[in-house]
Structure 1
């Protein structure tokens, strides 16, 4: 008889039969620190001990997720991993089955140790492990986590597509698709230099500019080049988690500095500098992440004076400079007096979409050369076609036109979000309308933040505990409005209100 994977029982029957019993799993005694690990281990254990027989039809991902009360994406990821390991096999239009031929199960203890890569690698930090798991879910969701990301639906894809085509053709004709300068293509570095000169008061030579795959790569390179033996790295008390993870992965001790309505508290920084030698300080002065506060000019000048006095690097993450609505943006730290120790990091990904992965670093020649040496080891160089295409759009005015258009739309979405929060919550929330950026920082009244928000949809909201708050109670949330239409903004705020039991 032909073998078909078609029902939950012995294999070998032709045709389809009903499942005699529903397959059940019990995760409470599963081994692992996460649901993903527990589910992987439970399946492999049940297959090895014979409870799940070869050829047995597995529950559908939606059914199993509902039965266990977990996210369906977790089940899908587990099924994919077990297929890759050879425990399961997927048959189109029929389902997922326990494999007929299972992976080797009788490896000696000695040889198992040889295959145990966990003992051969450095253990990841708790923060990077958490960020990695979030990234896996983001990659499988239709809409990614929205903490202030741009709306990818606004990409001028026809304009960008034509620029890509011209860049590819010219690269082929000029035979320039080989390896190039690890600091980036001359075209993009020249375009960035011109933009910095005109838009941000930064007159720098191309030798002090290095392109990177987004601001996160720039942050990691800074952490990699700077020396943790020279001192701690200072972060604002609420800060960007991937930046913290990058510094910790490179051996830095992280020390937190207080924040207030003017941004980083330079008086508290003085106190820190009396107790610690500092190698660097990481800050987001333009629109502080996550609170959206703009650092005052007085604080900026004081910070740079302290940097010159104590000789620590200031890593300025200027991740969304383009989206400032109320007035002309305050000049970057890198354009002010005493800015010789500033490492300026910018991103072009916010202008179009995170997936384009383009950013840049500006620093003195020695630092840029050191960063480029590290790039040689991990990246060699970026995507030259993308860089040339973006350089053309920057030089032709296409990028500036797109920024003007999206800035108006994002400002309208900010104002609509403010209106909706006030309509739904009234005086139960408080916030300052940010001068720029793609998110709001919402303070919750005491009666709200004492309620449980464990079911909060992290796709549109992040609580202050995510950014380094250790108060134990959520009193602020960050709401990203940039990637949402007005209808989506209303739906997200209404969902949040329902979770907190607020009557609209």
Structure 2
């Protein structure tokens, strides 16, 4: 049986980028995006050269650069492996928009012992064997099942009723690119709350989208946020609002503030992009996102919140049909290793291991001495 990298390692002969640049970009995308887990064995330079029909020296030079970046390491007589601890900052990919890295608690890395990597490798191999992936099989049966399971999870855990056909899942790198590509610069400004990362804003601006980041409010954050939106809508053409509604509304008693904000969004026909990726699933503090109450919206979510970078999966859920621009851009970014990751997640959810993992992480985070377990 072929290894997962066989399905994703493809060169574009018509690309303006050199073979060296394509390989660097591909390896960085797979490693930084979490598609290849830390400790995973990589093919030898000879294997890649034979597989792609290229000069072995080119592959060796790629491996040397990746090693210098701290993304891989080589052990004599054993082989080349993905680094367990990736560098905190790396140069931007030449092919894709940069991967957004959210701020997380410094002790969150100590929960990685809860994630059994050997089990995850086994599930990936099982998914690969079960679905016998081909180059055109991105929307395979496993992905169909995953969308339905995500719809059920959203309905039961977040009270967000959405059709499986209105859900797209994959790596955040691919989804970020698709969301940005679906926003048309000519429609107007994008207003972002103060939590939106500088990396995301830079990615939006690279696509020609004019972004205004709204300042943090001292008083009632939700009301001030609504007033700021109305001020810009009166004076400028505004197309969309990017925010994290869980930071605007701390509890369900803020119903009046939610109603007011929804009314303003509707008055000006704005697209709401509710970024909920940082919310920890199954937490008792989770409330229905604002996107669940406003028709023209997209909710960005993550199966593991900020707590599992090595095997995470993000998704976009929309109250409306996903636009053709979004789907087209997402298809451009689809790679078989990403599909393999999603199929494995589907197997995790079906076996009930997903909730067990989340419950274990949540209990760990509630432990008073969790910080004492922080690795040096």
Q: Give TM-score scaled by structure 2 length.
A: 0.64
1:325-376: per-residue Cα shift (whole Å, max 9, x none)?
6x5422111222xx11111110125365213242000125542543221122
Match of 2:356 among 397, 401, 404: 401
**CA distance in 2: counterparts of 1:205 and 1:381, whole angstroms:** 25
Say if 2:135 is the partner of 1:135: no
SS of residue paired to 1:259: coil
Which one of 256, 259, 262 corresponds to residue 216 of structure 2?
A: 259
Shift of the 274–136 alpha-carbon distance from structure 1 to 2, 3 Å rule, reads: same
Is the CA contact (8 Å cut-off) linking 1:233 and 1:280 kept in structure 2? yes
* 2:298–2:317 CA contact under 8 A, matched in 1: yes
For 1:103-135, what per-residue CA distance to the aligned partner results, in whole angstroms no more than 9, with x for missing partners?
Answer: xxxxxxxxxxxxxxxxxxxxxxxxxxxxxx962
Distance 1:340 1:357, change over 3 A: same
Matched residue SS, 2:155: helix
Q: Evaluate the alpha carbon distance shift between residue 205 and residue 293 of structure 1 in structure 2; reply closer, same or farther with a 3 A threshold.
A: closer
Structure 2 match to 1:191? 149
Partner of 1:223 in structure 2? 180
Indicate whether 1:391 and 2:346 are aligned.
yes
Given that residues 262 and 293 in structure 1 are in contact (C-alpha distance below 8 angstroms), is that contact kept between their aligned partners in structure 2? no
1:379 and 2:334 are equivalent in the alignment: yes
Q: Which of residues 296, 308, 325 is equivalent to 1:370? A: 325
Residue 459 of structure 1: aligned partner: none
Stretches of structure 1 lacking an aligned partner (at least 5 in a row): 1-79, 85-91, 93-132, 139-144, 417-483, 492-504
The 8 Å contact of residues 170 and 339 in structure 2, kept in 1 or not, is answered as: no
- More displaced stretch, 349-358 vs 222-231: 349-358
Q: 2: distance between equivalents of 1:320 and 1:237?
A: 15
Answer yes or no: is the 8 Å Cα contact 1:346–1:360 preserved in 2. Answer: yes
| 1:394 positional shift | 1.9
Contact 2:177 2:330 in 1 (8 A): no
How many Å apart are 1:324 and its aligned residue? 7.8
Matched, 1:165 2:122: yes
Question: CA 1:209–1:240 in 2, change beyond 3 Å: closer, same or farther?
Answer: same
Superposition deviation, residue 208 in structure 1? 0.3
* 3-state secondary structure, aligned to 1:485: helix
Q: CA deviation at 1:406?
A: 1.5
| 1:334 paired to 2:303 | no
CA distance in 1, matches of 2:312, 2:112: 17
Larger CA deviation: 343-352 vs 293-302: 293-302
2:205 to 228, 241, 248: 248
**2:322 match: secondary structure:** helix
CA contact (8 A) 2:281 2:303 kept: no
- Please say if 1:147 is aligned against 2:103: yes
**Distance change in 2, residues 1:396/1:157 (3 Å):** same
Corresponding residue for 1:121? Answer: none
Query: Are 1:269 and 2:210 counterparts?
Result: no
Secondary structure in 1 aligned to 2:246?
A: coil
Contact 1:351–1:403 (CA under 8 A) maintained in structure 2:
no
Which structure shows the higher helix fraction? Answer: 2
Counterpart Cα distance in 1 of 2:290 and 2:337: 27
Report how many residues are paired. Answer: 280
Counterpart contact for 1:164–1:386, Cα < 8 Å: no
Map 1:63-462 → 2, pairs under 5 A: 135-136=89-90, 147-148=103-104, 150-151=108-109, 153-158=111-116, 161-181=118-138, 185-214=143-172, 217-260=174-217, 262-264=220-222, 265-287=225-247, 296-322=254-280, 327-336=284-293, 339-350=294-305, 353-364=308-319, 366-380=321-335, 383-412=338-367
Which TM-score applies when normalising by structure 1?
Answer: 0.49
CA contact (8 A) 2:167 2:315 kept: yes
> Which structure carries more relative contact order (alpha carbon 8 Å, separation 6+)?
2
RMSD: 3.5
d(CA) in 2 for partners of 1:351 and 1:186? 25
**CA 324–294 in structure 1, closer or farther in 2 if over 3 Å, else same:** farther
Residue 49 of structure 2 is matched in structure 1 by none
2:371 is matched with: 485
Q: Is the 8 A contact 1:287 1:294 kept in 2?
A: no
